[in-house]
Amino acid sequence: MSGFVFGEKPIGIESGEGVHLYGEDGTEYLDFGASYACAPVGHCHPDVVSAVEEQASDLLFVQGSYPTETRAALYDRLAGLAPGDCSNVWLCNSGTEANEAALKFARHATGREKVVAAKRAFHGRTLGALAATWKPKYREGFAVPENVEFVDYGDSEALAEAVDEETAAVLLEPVQGEGGVNPAPEGYLAAAREACDDAGAALVFDEIQTGLGRTGSLWACENAGVEPDVLTVAKGLASGLPIGATLCAGWIAEDAGNHGSTFSGGPVPCAAALATLDVIEDEGLAGHASEVGAHFQSELADLPVRDVRGEGLLVGVEVKRGANRALPSLAMEHGILALPAGRTVVRFLPPLTVSEGDVETVASALEAVL
């Protein structure tokens, strides 16, 4: 049986350019979620394509223990962009691997095992990351580790009570994505920082969906003015090529234990990541996401919906009749691809290059569907 992991949608994609994807029959779709935040600079940005082609013609792959100029450049670039002291870089292939590494590193550095995570969190599907993922249906039948304590997201008192001398790490999304697009309440991330400092635990921010300018700053934690001990990033880092990174503070890196990966820092994804970071910076996409995202939320606020929330171009709309009833109509009748975030929330994760006209088109289409 082929394709048994993913349920396929009735839309075959042939190509992409900028904010659009094109079906096998030539139908044009506005991508407000099909790429799962993996196309921050738009599909097939010429600078990224050129970097990939140039690197592929020189060296497709060599294992990470052999230094390459491209990998070294990405190490330096990420170290320079990292918040606070998180300038030690581990490269991998996906977000779940980045979170898996973060949990291993924190446990080894602290000598502890317990992890505190939030209800409605999503951190990945390998066993360690899956243990910190809230939704039971993802964990069912996989015998995941049980040393994770879940607390209500946004409840500072519950978080402080859960973090103790047995806690290795607190793992949080600055804005929950899969769990319903829930921004952290004011002061919550700072309270997590204080709780970790008091207990000697590591504060880990999962910025796999929120990072790279999506929320209006390069990292969402910058909006709250809070620096983690570990930050994870993936998805759009290489414009959809498989790469992830775990950025660690010095005290974590000094005693991170033994970890490895065959494909860590492959030259082609590294080249794509460097080009993607260049475009995000050169085109001011974080600031653009802030401005267009605010306009998008203002357009959506006039619709007959329960709530509109998010930061930048990570936007959730809680609808009255269920997300899965709205999404097929958006796609098939209006050519707009979006995502659910639970049963009642329509989630929008477009390329950061979308225009105000694009978000107005989406708001109008959602109004028609509702």
Tens of pLDDT, residue by residue over 138-162, are: 999 998 988 999 999 999 999 999 9
Query: Is the domain of 253 the same as that of 311?
Result: no
Distance CA 98, CA 120 (A): 19
**Chain-wide mean pLDDT for the chain?**
96
Query: What is the CATH number for 32?
Result: 3.90.1150.10
Instruction: State the CB neighbour count (10 A cutoff) for residue 53.
Output: 11
Query: Is the domain of 22 the same as that of 84?
Result: no
- Backbone φ and ψ of 91, nearest 5°: -100, 145
Query: Is the domain of 155 the same as that of 207?
Result: yes
Percent with pLDDT over 90 in the chain: 94
Asked, for residue 4, whether it belongs to a domain, the answer is no
Asked, for residue 6, whether it belongs to a domain, the answer is no
Q: Is 261 annotated in some ligand binding site?
A: yes
Which of 238, 260, 282 lies at the terminal end of a domain, its last residue? 282
Q: Is 71 annotated in some ligand binding site?
A: no
Asked, for residue 237, whether it belongs to a domain, the answer is yes
198-240 residue pLDDT tens: 999 999 999 999 999 999 999 999 999 999 999 999 999 999 9
Q: Is 209 annotated in some ligand binding site?
A: yes
Which of 282, 313, 343 lies at the terminal end of a domain, its last residue? 282
Asked, for residue 361, whether it belongs to a domain, the answer is yes
The candidate with the shortest Cα–Cα distance to 264, out of 79, 8, 70, is: 70
Q: Computed from CA positions of residues 363, 206, 182, 185, in that sequence, does the dihedral angle turn out positive or negative?
A: negative
Which of 256, 282, 308 lies at the terminal end of a domain, its last residue? 282
Q: Is 361 annotated in some ligand binding site?
A: no
Query: Is the domain of 303 the same as that of 239?
Result: no
Query: Is the domain of 278 the same as that of 295?
Result: no
Q: Is 96 annotated in some ligand binding site?
A: yes
Asked, for residue 1, whether it belongs to a domain, the answer is no
Query: Is the domain of 242 the same as that of 318?
Result: no
Query: Is the domain of 108 the same as that of 210?
Result: yes
Q: Is 262 annotated in some ligand binding site?
A: yes
Count of domains observed in the chain? 2
Cα dist from 313 to 115, 183, 300, 330, 332, whole Å: 30, 12, 13, 18, 23
b/e 287-315 (16+ beta carbons within 10 angstroms → b): ebbbebbeebbebbeeeebeebbbbbbbb
Tokens of 49: 């394509």
Asked, for residue 334, whether it belongs to a domain, the answer is yes
In this prediction, residue 5 has a pLDDT band, given cuts at 50, 70 and 90, of low
Query: Is the domain of 62 the same as that of 189?
Result: yes
Q: Residue 39's domain spans which residues? A: 13-45+284-369
Q: Is 125 annotated in some ligand binding site?
A: yes
6-30 residue pLDDT tens: 677 889 999 999 999 999 999 999 9
pLDDT of amino acid 1: 40
Query: Is the domain of 203 the same as that of 299?
Result: no
Query: What is the CATH number for 172?
Result: 3.40.640.10
259-293 residue pLDDT tens: 999 999 999 999 999 999 999 999 999 999 999 99
Asked, for residue 187, whether it belongs to a domain, the answer is yes
pLDDT of amino acid 321: 81
To the nearest 10 degrees (0 to 180), the angle between helices 323-334 and 356-369 is 120
57-113 residue pLDDT tens: 999 999 999 999 999 999 999 999 999 999 999 999 999 999 999 999 999 999 999
Enter the pTM of the model: 0.97
Top pLDDT among 1 and 54 is at: 54
**Does the pLDDT at position 3 exceed 70?**
no
Distance CA 6, CA 9 (A): 9
Percent with pLDDT over 70 in the chain: 98
Query: Is the domain of 269 the same as that of 288?
Result: no
Query: Is the domain of 179 the same as that of 150?
Result: yes
Q: Is 206 annotated in some ligand binding site?
A: yes
Query: Is the domain of 143 the same as that of 271?
Result: yes
Cα dist from 266 to 29, 50, 58, 101, whole Å: 31, 17, 13, 17
pLDDT of amino acid 142: 93
pLDDT of amino acid 78: 98
Asked, for residue 360, whether it belongs to a domain, the answer is yes
